[in-house]
Each structure stands twice: as structure tokens, then as C-alpha cells.
Structure 1
Amino acid sequence: MSQLIINSFEEFEKYVGQELGVSEYHTITQNQVNLFADATLDHQWIHTDPERAKSEGAFGGTIAHGYLTLSIVPYLWEQVVKVNNLSMMVNYGIENLRFAQAVMVGDEVRLNASLENITNLRGTIKTEMKVKLEIKGQKKPAFTGNLVFLYHFK
């Protein structure tokens, strides 16, 4: 997978309606899930107790928190697109987010991103990205949604 390089608003604008790219796969580990549980104080057994999740859970094992899968988007996004000549980038919002399928510990996930819209707001660039977090070997994605970023080019 090759990273797309964007240097200006004009370059970004050329990709409206197109796929920007796909990240590498990232494996979700039990340690990552446990650390996320510690950080968010969400220690529900379906995430943190492999034995109980295997015997009592609906999925046959522990699953990642939905918000954990969302929180790795910046890491995966950097593999898809590199935007140069910025003074700042801000996460502005998430629209139409739907968690479609649980991510099991041990699953490999990757981000697929397309540019839906781009607007120049007097020098601040608002981008709307259609994203899905794909699970290797699964038809349904972990989630879909539209991420809104604000870019401030130098």
C-alpha cells in the first residue's frame, strides 16, 4: 500500500469522489484491549476476561471496544494520506457512525478512506472522508462513517 501525498488544497480537491487509499492491517491484541479498558475505565468482561467471554459471551472470545477501533483511526489514517505544508489539523467531527460488526481480539483491521467533499472556508479546509474499518476475512466492516477534518495549510 502506498501513502498518498497531498501538498495543497488544489491537490486535495482533485480526489473528491475517489478512494484515497487503504492502510496496512493492524492486529488487535488482548493487551491493547486491556490498556484501553484501563484508560477508559470500561472493564466489561466481554473485553477483558478471555475465559468468561469464551464460555459465556456471544462471540466466542473477547472483543475490542467499539471506541477502541475508532481510536486507532489516526494511526491508520497516517498510513493512507500524508498532508504536507500544514500549520495544523483538527478532528472536527464524525457523522453517520455505525458499528456494524464486533472486532475479535486477534482480528486484523485496516482503514479504507474516500474523499466525499472538500470546502475552502476562507483558508481553513474542511474535508469529509467516508471511512470503513475492514476486518480481514469478513464481509461486514467493523464500522462505517464520515470523518470531518479541518486542515490549515501554511
Structure 2
Amino acid sequence: MNDVWKKPPISLGDYQAMVGREVGVSSWHLVDQNRINLYADVIEDHQFIHVDPARARRETAFGSTVAHGFLTMSLMSIMSYEVMPVIEGTTMGVNYGFDKLRFISPVRAGSRVRGRFMLAEAKLRKPKELQSRTNVTVEIEGEDKPALVADWIGLIYFG
């Protein structure tokens, strides 16, 4: 089991006290051609800009293949496990959606990305249900502009 699952839990109050602060920055994650190809197979999107390096080099302004935007977005899950705290008594967490998700810059094959997480909101909707809103920026190593920015909403349930 990956160590990101073994973090010591914090109290709900400590979690809510983090609102308005940057919680953390994940490690870098490689987005290589193999990862892009595997993702293309899963979602059945084999557009040449993702899976044909020679053609993408010839026919696009990117200069190489680029990751699917949703691949970059999906990497936010592992990034969040690395940095977001676990709240005591949590039985599960689920995605509730996004209020904003914008793909700012393409992620070229061979690039590394990381997530920067700022907790924007953490409020109880019900006694055992917390709505959490996190502002996420996925940075591309060596690039001025991020790959994406998102307001990510999750629901955390307690036993």
C-alpha cells in the first residue's frame, strides 16, 4: 500500500482551521507517452495529438503529443492523497464536482506536473457530511502557466 494512505488523521476542527490556507504541494508526476497511450485506450480517444508523436510534431503548434485534459485532471486524485489531510472518523470521501475547471496550458508528453492545494471551504451540510471546496492549480515543471485550475468540491462522510 502506498504511504499516502497512511497519514495520521486530524480533527475536523483542525481541518476547518485550514480554510483559506495552502494545504500543500504534491510531488511531481511524469506524464509520459506511455501514460497518455494507456489513458487513450481507457477512454477510447486516440486523436493523433495524443498518440502519434511524429504527426503531432509535424502538424501541431505543440511540437509533440499532449496529454488529454481529463488525464491531467484525473491526476489530481493522487496529488490530493499526497497532501490533503485525512479527517478523524472519515468513512469515505466522494467527488461532488467542480464549480470551475479550466485547462490553461497543454501538458506535453514527457512533462511533469504537480498539484498545489488551497482549502477554500469546509462546512458541515449534515451532522455526518462535510462539503469541502479546494482550489487546485496543476503546475507544469518549467512552465510559466499552469496546466489547469479548478475549484474542486468533495463530500466527506463520517461514521
Task: Tell me the TM-score normalized by structure 1.
Answer: 0.94
Query: Do residues 145 (structure 1) and 153 (structure 2) align?
Result: no
The residue that corresponds to 2:114 in the other structure is 110
The letter for the 2-side match of 1:92 is: Y
What SS class does the counterpart of residue 87 from structure 1 fall into? strand
Q: Percent identity?
A: 38
The residue that corresponds to 2:134 in the other structure is 129
- Measured against aligned partners, the alpha-carbon deviations of 1:26-79 in whole angstroms (never above 9, x if no partner) come to 010101100111111100000000011111111100000000000111111111
| Alpha carbons 2:117, 2:136 under 8 Å: kept | yes
Q: Distance in 2 between matches of 1:24 and 1:5?
A: 19
What SS class does the counterpart of residue 83 from structure 1 fall into? coil
Q: Distance in 2 between matches of 1:71 and 1:152?
A: 22
Return closer, same or farther for 1:5/1:130 CA change in 2, 3 Å cut-off: farther
Q: Distance in 2 between matches of 1:143 and 1:5?
A: 29
Contiguous gaps of at least 5 residues in structure 1 = none
- Measured against aligned partners, the alpha-carbon deviations of 1:58-115 in whole angstroms (never above 9, x if no partner) come to 1100000000000111111111123143111111011111100000001110000001
Query: Do residues 92 (structure 1) and 99 (structure 2) align?
Result: no
1:56 to 56, 59, 65: 59
Task: Tell me the TM-score normalized by structure 2.
Answer: 0.91
| Alpha carbons 1:23, 1:76 under 8 Å: kept | yes
| Alpha carbons 2:115, 2:136 under 8 Å: kept | yes
